[in-house]
């Protein structure tokens, strides 16, 4: 009796499979998938469920858009248009106020210019009158000085002329005495000077 040794395999271990069997099974399974028609979405047996899901999702999306998202968007659009129209109206009011203020400022500038011209012409006239009065006063003072100076000059001239005739008669007497050797009298010299003048 010969005893052969057997290998012990656990009970939960898979049974050994030959390599050839594995290859044949893989080929067979691949061939069956190709025969079934391909993608399950295109098989008629799944279409009813897909259509039901499509209608269900469409109804949910329609409800969400119609009842939640669209009113929110409409409210945002209304707020935006109200904000824009309010801003445009405020800008128009500000522009109108600015135009009014610019017109008022323009009038004020024109009034200020007219007032400045009036003040300048009044000041110019006042200065001109003051200058004329000052010039007249100075001219009167100068005329008085000139008159005084002319009087002094006339007095000095008269005094000098009186002295000149005395000097001339003395000079004439001295010349005659030199030439003739005899001195003339003062009356003769004075008469000679008066006769020569």
Tens-digit pLDDT profile for residues 135-147: 999 999 999 999 9
DSSP string for residues in 25-50: HHHHHHHHHHHTTS-GGGSGGGHHHH
Mean pLDDT of the chain: 82
Q: What is the pTM of this model?
A: 0.35
CA atoms within 13 A on the CB side of 48: 1
* CA–CA gap between residue 36 and residue 43 (Å, rounded): 9
Q: Does position 92 have pLDDT exceeding 90, yes or no?
A: yes
More confident residue, 38 or 4: 38
Q: Tell me how far CA of residue 150 lies from CA of 7, 36, 138, 139, in angstroms.
A: 171, 152, 18, 16
Q: How confident is the model at residue 116 (pLDDT cuts 50, 70, 90)?
A: very high
- The pair phi, psi for residue 122, each rounded to 5°, is -65, -45
CA atoms within 13 A on the CB side of 162: 5
Neighbours of 191 (CB within 10 A): 14
Q: Does position 78 have pLDDT exceeding 70, yes or no?
A: yes
Mean pLDDT lowest among 8-22, 49-63, 114-128, 169-183: 8-22
The reported pLDDT for the residue numbered 194 is 76
Percentage with pLDDT > 90 across the chain: 51
């Amino acid at each position: 009796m010969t005893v052969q040794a057997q290998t012990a395999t656990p009970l939960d271990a898979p049974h050994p499979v030959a390599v050839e069997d594995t290859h044949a099974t893989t080929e067979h399974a691949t061939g069956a998938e190709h025969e079934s028609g391909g993608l399950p979405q295109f098989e008629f047996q799944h279409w009813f469920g897909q259509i039901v899901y499509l209608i269900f999702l469409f109804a949910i999306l329609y409800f969400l858009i119609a009842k939640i998202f669209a009113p929110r968007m409409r409210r945002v659009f209304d707020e935006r248009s109200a904000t824009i129209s309010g801003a445009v109206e405020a800008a128009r009011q500000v522009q109108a106020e600015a135009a009014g203020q610019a017109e008022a400022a323009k009038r004020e500038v024109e009034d200020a210019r007219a007032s400045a011209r009036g003040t300048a012409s009044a000041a110019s006239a006042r200065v001109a009158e003051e200058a004329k009065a000052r010039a007249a006063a100075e001219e009167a003072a100068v005329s008085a000085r000139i008159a005084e100076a002319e009087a002094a000059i006339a007095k000095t001239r008269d005094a000098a002329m009186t002295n000149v005739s005395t000097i001339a008669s003395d000079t004439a007497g001295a010349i005659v005495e030199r030439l003739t050797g005899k001195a003339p009298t003062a009356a003769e010299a004075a008469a000679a000077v008066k006769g020569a003048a």
